[in-house]
Amino acid sequence: MNKIDPPVCIVDDDYSIRDALENLLRSAGIQVETYSSAKEFLARANAGPPGCLVLDVNLPGFSGLELQRELSRMDVHIPIIFLTGHGDIPMSVRAIKAGALEFLTKPFDPEDLLDAIQEGMRAREYTGLSAGDSAPLSGEIVGTSSAYRTLRRRIAMVAPTDSTVLIQGETGTGKELIAHEIHKMSRRKDQPLVRVNCASIPKELFESEFFGHVRGAFTGAIKDRVGRFEAANGGTLFLDEVGEIPMELQSKLLRALQERQYERVGDERTKRADVRIIAATNRQLQQEVKEGRFREDLYYRLNVFPLQVAPLRERREDIPLLAQYFVGTLAKELKCPKSRLTEAGVARLQNYEWPGNIRELRNVIERAIIVAQGNALEFDLPTTISAPVPAPSAFEMIDATQPEFLTEPEIQRRERENLWMVLQKTGWKIKGADGAAELLGVKPTTLISRIKKMGLKPRDATPSGLPQN
């Protein structure tokens, strides 16, 4: 753990315990924040999620378990270590089922607490609960294109069933948001949705992560650990980035999915898993199967109800609505004045390829809101012209198949290409005898405003920037 890790928050109404824990953690080089009640902790919500929460069960007013429920309702996922004065078993089972990481009975061994915190921070890292991710997902699925309407219908159809769902789509298309939506619309909605980021589980911890282990099962297993299948029991297990599971571990997962049974590492007893599986990947799994990187039997086990999410560039008609939605929600979230989306701005967004899909759109709008400070939004997008189309040759000019006139969009496209070529030629020099304005026969100020209007940026052409004047 290092200094840049998010802090560990301690919530306990007993001052002497807070003090002792604070000293213990600080001396281990861990950043700490202490709170005497659940309410006080909730009031810090804007400070970003902590790395881990050490929570007293018996707090006055709002109990530790209630705080756990409230966080889960807010879709904030923080590894929680509960502390209790009375090793209350039913309570600990409830807490663990709801996703708690550990349950320690006072008085506890400081080493146990430090180990649990270490495990919590690690779990947070490789279940993908980084600060950015654990911000609640927007919660609203926006889109009206026919591709999106079909997707929504399919989500509504499958959500109430217990069917396994396989969500495939490029990065940033909203797979995780969809998984949350399915869970929320299912009869399991009051039970946990447990996400496992399959891409970041170290191989040697795979079984323990999924199935749990018992104390002494291997070196370092100093206490029992609840696996993800068990934590999700009664709810949904979201296998994110499922295409990244190494081949040799796929059979272990297959068995648990097939038989809905598993054993904790070091324990012979078989446990039953009552979980609904949702898997997501940005790979095309069928292709992965063909290329021998993914087990065919596991693919069929997961591909019961497939949902394919189209990339944003294939449903550009959703862009204006999504942009409007992000402009509204992000301005609030960022506490920035609301900025205007102009027609030119929307056109620019619609003309871009969006390799990072909706996530990229959201980020571009966020940046623009911060820069605009209440004015019209301007978008800093790499130009999508990769190689300028060469000017038509004399032969093409007299080609009988060419129309006799040019349409407005065609004129604009040509003007843009022409401008781009001149700027390439002059290395983005605007003014002076060999500048682009002179070559085009326009005033430099006119040229600059045209460049802005067309959203051309020198980034991909030369390292020099646009003149500021």
Ligand X SMILES: Nc1ncnc2c1ncn2[C@@H]1O[C@H](COP(=O)(O)OP(=O)(O)OP(=O)(O)O)[C@@H](O)[C@H]1O
97 makes contact with ligand X (CB under 6 A):
no
Q: Which of 31, 138, 303, 424 binds ligand X (CB under 6 A)?
A: 138
Reference 185, options 214, 213, 161, 220; nearest CA is: 161
CB of 128 to ligand X, least distance (A): 8
When the beta carbons of 169 and 455 are compared against ligand X, the nearer one is: 169
Reference 282, options 247, 312, 243; nearest CA is: 243
When the beta carbons of 142 and 147 are compared against ligand X, the nearer one is: 142
Token pair listed for 8? 């560990």
Number of residues that bind Mg ion (CB under 5 A): 1
When the beta carbons of 176 and 209 are compared against ligand X, the nearer one is: 176
> H/E element holding 312?
none
CA distance 92 to 43: 26
Q: Which of 25, 59, 257, 358 binds ligand X (CB under 6 A)?
A: 358
Could you identify the residue written with the tokens 């996530």?
359
Token pair listed for 251? 């059979």
When the beta carbons of 82 and 354 are compared against ligand X, the nearer one is: 354
Q: Which does 84 bind (CB under 5 to 8 A by kind): ligand X, Mg ion, none?
A: none
175 makes contact with ligand X (CB under 6 A):
yes
174 makes contact with ligand X (CB under 6 A):
yes
Number of residues that bind ligand X (CB under 6 A): 19
When the beta carbons of 64 and 174 are compared against Mg ion, the nearer one is: 174
When the beta carbons of 174 and 435 are compared against ligand X, the nearer one is: 174
Residues in the chain: 469
> H/E element holding 447?
helix 444-454
Query: Please, which residues have CB within 8 angstroms of residue 272's CB and are 6 or more apart in sequence?
Result: 260, 261
Token pair listed for 466? 């646009």
Show contacts with Mg ion in window 151-180 (CB under 5 A).
Answer: 176
311 makes contact with ligand X (CB under 6 A):
no
CB of 196 to ligand X, least distance (A): 13
369 makes contact with ligand X (CB under 6 A):
no
Q: Which of 141, 199, 289, 346 binds ligand X (CB under 6 A)?
A: 141
DSSP letter assigned to residue 47: G
When the beta carbons of 137 and 385 are compared against ligand X, the nearer one is: 137
Q: Which does 208 bind (CB under 5 to 8 A by kind): Mg ion, ligand X, none?
A: none
Reference 52, options 73, 21, 27; nearest CA is: 21
Q: Which of 38, 166, 177, 419 binds ligand X (CB under 6 A)?
A: 177
Stretch that binds ligand X, among 118-126, 139-147, 343-351, 431-439 (CB under 6 A): 139-147
CB of 308 to Mg ion, least distance (A): 15
Position of minimal CB gap to Mg ion: 176
CB of 148 to ligand X, least distance (A): 7
What SS3 class is residue 345? helix
Let me know: does 186 contact 160? Beta carbons within 8 Å.
Answer: yes
Show contacts with ligand X in window 250-289 (CB under 6 A).
Answer: 282
- CA torsion sign for 439, 440, 443, 446 is negative
359 makes contact with ligand X (CB under 6 A):
yes
Stretch that binds ligand X, among 219-227, 357-365, 389-397, 438-446 (CB under 6 A): 357-365
Taking CA atoms, 266 is separated from 74, 217, 254, 256, in Å, by 35, 5, 20, 16
Q: Which of 50, 169, 235, 435 binds ligand X (CB under 6 A)?
A: 169
102 makes contact with ligand X (CB under 6 A):
no
CA distance 379 to 349: 8
Token pair listed for 420? 């781009």
* Beta-sheet strands, E only, within 180-251: 193-197, 212-213, 225-226, 236-240
DSSP assignment of 93-155: HHHHHTT--EEEESS--HHHHHHHHHHHHHHHHHTT--HHHHSPP-------SHHHHHHHHHH
Position of minimal CB gap to ligand X: 174
Q: Which of 137, 185, 254, 439 binds ligand X (CB under 6 A)?
A: 137
Q: Which residues bind ligand X (CB under 6 A)?
A: 137-138, 140-143, 169, 171-177, 282, 322, 358-359, 362
